[in-house]
Amino acid sequence: GGAAAPHSVSWRWWIVSDSEVAYLSQAYPRGTPSVVHPVLQCSHCDTVTFPGTEAGLVTMVDGGTRMVARTGRRMYERDYRAVTKHASVHCEGTPLTQTNVVLYESDVDTLVALVPQSPEVLDSELDGLGITSSFQTDLDDAVVAPHGLFPRPIGLRPPSPLSSGSLSSELLARFAFLGKLVAQALVDERLLDLPLAVPFLRLLRGESLLGNMALALEHIATVDPQLGRSLQYLYDHRHDASIDDMGLTFVLPPSSMPLCDKGADRLVTTDNVVEFLDLTATTMLDTAIRPQVDAFRAGFASIAPLHVLTMLSAADWSVLLADPSRQMWPGGADEIRAAMVCDHGYTMDSRAIEWLVDILAELAPDDQRLFVRFVTGSHRLPMGGLARLDPALTVVRKLTVDDASSSTANDAILPSASTCTNYLKLPDYSSKDIMRTKLLYCIHEGQLSFHLS
């Protein structure tokens, strides 16, 4: 939207979360061509918040000097510091810059329409890296992903060739961006969900995956178990005459990428099968992926020193970056109780809270992640776990529409959450089993739902 005089501002960009856009769409007074609205923006990370309440957007009165809610209550910039989801963790709770902006209904509709097409990282940042806005387009060209992300050897097809030139440059820019992403996450103390394969992490640490055929084949099996088994079979039967009848050639399986000059015309035999295996391992674990590894390390080094990569083992990095088996609260019920806050109808001694703690402690890791995402909007807790969640996990009693307290009325409604404040709104169910059923239904079926509650 255009800035309202006399507060004319030239924005570099707005970083707006999907949930914030969804709120704007819900809260904008439909049928009103435009409103003067006090947009709040962090001057450091550019995150934008549209102040408002459940009743609608806050508007300006008295010549643009006071923020007032639709209920008539006066609002202040400080009211929105704690609930603003910043792009950088270091900005949380900091003062926001207020600018009175003319929001047009047509602009709101355009913004809502653009959300599904908008990448997680701004186009302007990607352009600076030489990457187009479709960062994940043709991702299969760049990585082998089923068993952890690992660079696909340059030249390997399908679905489309990755050769030298602009496409290869764009590919390397993506790996440089990933390096920057990991380094910035460390600086900001954020946890990612980036399942890099352990062999790739070893390469990023500066290790070599070659030098021993048995270990090299193990690394390949980690990335591609089926290919690893096939190569291991060849190695175990390298003296077997049946290899001569397999019709294999010197190309990188399962592609048509030649491993040597005229490799497609050179048959694999018992005399050269070890050479074939050595070239396959060298190509897959070094020469054809070295540019991607170097690009990642260069991107990382632009944010943090490279020696940081050697401070953890590859296995430790794998756990830090993405560990689906990791418990959200390894301390069990005691850890949950210590980190939980009860309010508005509940205390730690409430029956419903005791049931909730037991249910959460019994959840499998996958369901723990779904619960965390349902309540916080993120499927990973900050470093330090549940105790470091800010605002703290807060559980309040959810009432029925008519504030009825009967068991039947409570059992008929579902829990809900306010992810901005990490609030779980939990009805006072009549039994622990009903609570478990309702909670599991919500965390499994409500991940893509956003409503004002």
Q: How confident is the model at residue 113 (pLDDT cuts 50, 70, 90)?
A: confident
Average pLDDT over residues 223-248: 92
Cβ atoms of 69 and 75 within 8 Å: the answer is yes
Residues facing residue 394 across a β-bridge: 341, 423
Q: Between 427 and 24, where is the model more confident?
A: 427
Q: How confident is the model at residue 133 (pLDDT cuts 50, 70, 90)?
A: very low
What pLDDT sits at residue 163?
A: 42
> Annotated catalytic, 420?
yes
Cα 112 to Cα 73: distance, rounded to the nearest angstrom: 28
Q: Between 7 and 288, where is the model more confident?
A: 288
Q: Between 135 and 433, where is the model more confident?
A: 433
Q: Between 199 and 189, where is the model more confident?
A: 199
What pLDDT sits at residue 1?
A: 35
Q: Do β-strands 150-151 and 257-258 pair in parallel, antiparallel, or remain unpaired?
A: unpaired
How much of the chain exceeds pLDDT 90, in percent?
A: 40
What pLDDT sits at residue 310?
A: 95
| Domains present along the chain, CATH in parentheses | 18-114 (no CATH), 168-207+290-322 (3.90.1750.10), 213-285 (3.30.2160.10), 331-446 (3.30.2410.10)
- Among the ranges given (164-168, 284-288, 429-433), the one the predictor scored with the smallest mean pLDDT: 164-168
Q: How confident is the model at residue 18 (pLDDT cuts 50, 70, 90)?
A: confident
User: Token pair for residue 280?
Assistant: 């396959």
The beta-strand segments (E) located in 292-386 are 341-343
User: Token pair for residue 419?
Assistant: 């992810």
What pLDDT sits at residue 79?
A: 84
> Residue 292, SS3?
helix
Q: How confident is the model at residue 230 (pLDDT cuts 50, 70, 90)?
A: very high
Query: Is residue 138 scored above 90 in pLDDT?
Result: no
Q: What is the mean pLDDT of the chain?
A: 82
Q: How confident is the model at residue 363 (pLDDT cuts 50, 70, 90)?
A: very high
Cβ atoms of 198 and 207 within 8 Å: the answer is no
DSSP string, 245-266: GS--BSEETTTTEESSTTGGGP
DSSP letter for 9, please: -
User: Token pair for residue 346?
Assistant: 């509940």
Among residues 42, 91, 342, 420, the one annotated as catalytic is 420
Cα 379 to Cα 192: distance, rounded to the nearest angstrom: 9
What pLDDT sits at residue 155?
A: 61
Query: Is residue 122 scored above 70 in pLDDT?
Result: no
Average pLDDT over residues 88-112: 80
Pick the closest to residue 143 from 250, 203, 224 (CA basis).
Answer: 224
User: Token pair for residue 281?
Assistant: 């391992």
239 phi and psi angles, rounded to 5 deg: -100, 5
Query: Is residue 268 scored above 60 in pLDDT?
Result: yes
Q: Between 289 and 42, where is the model more confident?
A: 289
Average pLDDT over residues 17-38: 84
What pLDDT sits at residue 119?
A: 43
Q: How confident is the model at residue 401 (pLDDT cuts 50, 70, 90)?
A: low
369-389 confidence digits (pLDDT tens): 899 989 988 878 887 889 988
Cα 360 to Cα 357: distance, rounded to the nearest angstrom: 5
- Among the ranges given (340-349, 400-409, 425-434), the one the predictor scored with the smallest mean pLDDT: 400-409
Cβ atoms of 252 and 278 within 8 Å: the answer is no
Cβ atoms of 119 and 135 within 8 Å: the answer is yes
Q: Indicate the residue type of 51.
A: P
Q: What is the pTM of this model?
A: 0.56
